[in-house]
Amino acid sequence: MAFFPASLETLVDKFAALPGIGRKSAQRLAFHVLALSDEEARSFADAILDAKSNVHCCPVCQNLTEGELCSICASPTRDKGTICVVSEPRDVLSIERGHEYNGTYHVLHGVLSPMSHVGPDDIRIKELLVRVAENEVEEVIMATNPDTEGEATAMYLSRLLKPFGTKVTRLAYGIPVGSNLEFTDDATLNRAIEGRTEM
Amino acid sequence: MAFFPASLETLVDKFAALPGIGRKSAQRLAFHVLALSDEEARSFADAILDAKSNVHCCPVCQNLTEGELCSICASPTRDKGTICVVSEPRDVLSIERGHEYNGTYHVLHGVLSPMSHVGPDDIRIKELLVRVAENEVEEVIMATNPDTEGEATAMYLSRLLKPFGTKVTRLAYGIPVGSNLEFTDDATLNRAIEGRTEM
């Protein structure tokens, strides 16, 4: 028995299908949309269609873009000889936030994960190899997440890249800035000791 | 500095404007939409527009409906002499879930709240008075939430309805079925003792 009108139920279903949105939240969101002005509702719907139709992957680095190349690959000031490999587009944003890195990126759109049936052909590894083979790349920095799958992906890629003679590096592990030794987990602390640097 | 394409940023903004969705969740939702098929994205956008254009308030009970009357007001088997007053459309759903009540509803679309500047003219009180004045209504059941604002609204309405000679009742307060006396708050327990019934 549905007591909500059918098109409201449909909208609730759409919201409930989004990740992390339960049935109750979906109802609240749908009611919110009903309370929007006609213009606001239309611009919400347009935003979905626009994002879907305008956004595609940069043919070089696979990051999301609306232009032919992404703004980083298109920039003449970025160092094309350094490629930072990340798993998701949002990771690019995280690194850019630091205003420190001046190279380019390569977005894998995932990590290797045998448990979830994600193999080398399911993420953008081939595109990275082509890029390294056809351009003068001095260094590839592995910036996948420091978890099991991110580690395994970085390890796998570094083996694939070895024949090209390119330097392959990994982000440093260690204690986060501003944290506390007492609350740092053992694995991180061990890595911080291993990776100690001269002062 | 935006490193996401503009139309993706716009979509993130739209999601972030929804209640209870923060910036990070909005990003996750926007990425999810990008990963949808063209057809799925279009049907999501259509769901927003359809709900917005098809759903309106039932002219009798003010519940949301797509038809001329809502399914409850249009049903010949529902008792039109009993009106259950609730604050939101979702409350109708809650009561219908019990399969016990066979009367009609009146949805106020809010409660009186001086703190939020919601006065008698901002919710559907006039429509209720017209309904009671023009029809043979035996009983009006106040089913607003048992909080301060819900209570005040019920009290206010019961005074307005007194001149019509209609019986006005309030949902019973008491301990919830299946709960535990030990964990019942004092106010509820006092109300349960006041409202005790003979066995």
Residue B49 belongs to some domain of the structure: yes
Instruction: With a cut of 50, say whether residue A189 has pLDDT above it.
Output: yes
Same domain, yes or no: A28 and A70: no
In whole angstroms, give the CA distance from residue A106 to residue B26: 24
Average pLDDT estimate for A71-80: 93
Res. B75 pLDDT band, cuts 50 70 90: very high
Same domain, yes or no: A96 and A124: yes
Same domain, yes or no: B107 and B162: yes
Q: What is the pLDDT of residue A2?
A: 52
In whole angstroms, give the CA distance from residue B132 to residue B83: 9
Same domain, yes or no: B123 and B153: yes
Q: What is the CATH number of the domain that holds B42?
A: 1.10.8.420
pLDDT digits (tens, 9 = 90+) for A115-125: 999 999 999 99
Higher pLDDT, A98 or A26: A26
Q: What is the CATH number of the domain that holds B104?
A: 3.40.1360.10
Same domain, yes or no: A89 and A34: no
Res. B33 pLDDT band, cuts 50 70 90: very high
Residue B184 belongs to some domain of the structure: no
Same domain, yes or no: B11 and B92: no
Check if the beta carbon of residue A83 is closer than 8 Å to that of residue A139.
yes
Res. B188 pLDDT band, cuts 50 70 90: confident
Residues 6+ apart with CB under 8 A from A138: A81, A82, A166, A167
Domain count for chain B: 2
* Facing B93 at nearest CB: one of A3, A46, A53: A3
pLDDT digits (tens, 9 = 90+) for B115-156: 999 999 999 999 999 999 999 999 999 999 988 999 999 999
- The answer to whether residue B31 neighbours chain A at the CB level (below 8 Å) is yes
Q: Which residues of chain A does B26 touch, with a Cβ-Cβ cutoff of 8 Å?
A: none
Same domain, yes or no: A72 and A47: no
Joined together, the tokens standing for residue B115 give 């703190």
- The answer to whether residue A35 neighbours chain B at the CB level (below 8 Å) is no
- The answer to whether residue B159 neighbours chain A at the CB level (below 8 Å) is no
Same domain, yes or no: A118 and A26: no
In whole angstroms, give the CA distance from residue B116 to residue B147: 15
3-state secondary structure of B81: strand
Q: What is the pLDDT of residue A63?
A: 93
In whole angstroms, give the CA distance from residue B154 to residue B141: 9
Residue A162 belongs to some domain of the structure: yes
Residue A195 belongs to some domain of the structure: no
Same domain, yes or no: A100 and A158: yes
Residue B20 belongs to some domain of the structure: yes
Same domain, yes or no: A43 and A70: no
Same domain, yes or no: B89 and B128: yes
Amino acid code (one letter) for A70: C
Residue A194 belongs to some domain of the structure: no
- The answer to whether residue A58 neighbours chain B at the CB level (below 8 Å) is no
- The answer to whether residue B61 neighbours chain A at the CB level (below 8 Å) is no
Instruction: With a cut of 90, say whether residue A181 has pLDDT above it.
Output: no
Helices within chain A (DSSP H only): 6-16, 23-35, 38-54, 71-74, 89-97, 125-134, 148-161, 186-194
pLDDT digits (tens, 9 = 90+) for A1-52: 456 888 999 999 999 999 999 999 999 999 999 989 999 999 999 999 999 9
User: E-assigned strands of chain B?
Assistant: 56-57, 64-65, 79-86, 103-107, 139-142, 167-170
Q: Which residues of chain A does B31 touch, with a Cβ-Cβ cutoff of 8 Å?
A: 88-90
In whole angstroms, give the CA distance from residue B175 to residue B188: 6
Chain A nearest-CA distance from B19, in A, is 7
Give me the phi and psi of A37, to 5 degrees please: -75, 160
- B 66-105 residues inside an 8 A Cβ radius of A: 66-67, 71-72, 89-90, 92-93, 96
In whole angstroms, give the CA distance from residue B199 to residue B196: 9
Residue A1 belongs to some domain of the structure: no
Q: How many CB atoms lie within 10 A of CB A87?
A: 20
Residue A95 belongs to some domain of the structure: yes
pLDDT digits (tens, 9 = 90+) for B159-168: 999 999 999 9
Amino acid code (one letter) for A63: N
Instruction: With a cut of 50, say whether residue A64 has pLDDT above it.
Output: yes
3-state secondary structure of A143: coil
Judge if ipTM > 0.90: no
Average pLDDT estimate for A63-73: 91
Q: Which residues form the domain of B36?
A: 6-54
Q: Which long-range contacts (CB under 8 A, 24 or more apart) does B184-191 make?
A: none
Same domain, yes or no: A109 and A146: yes
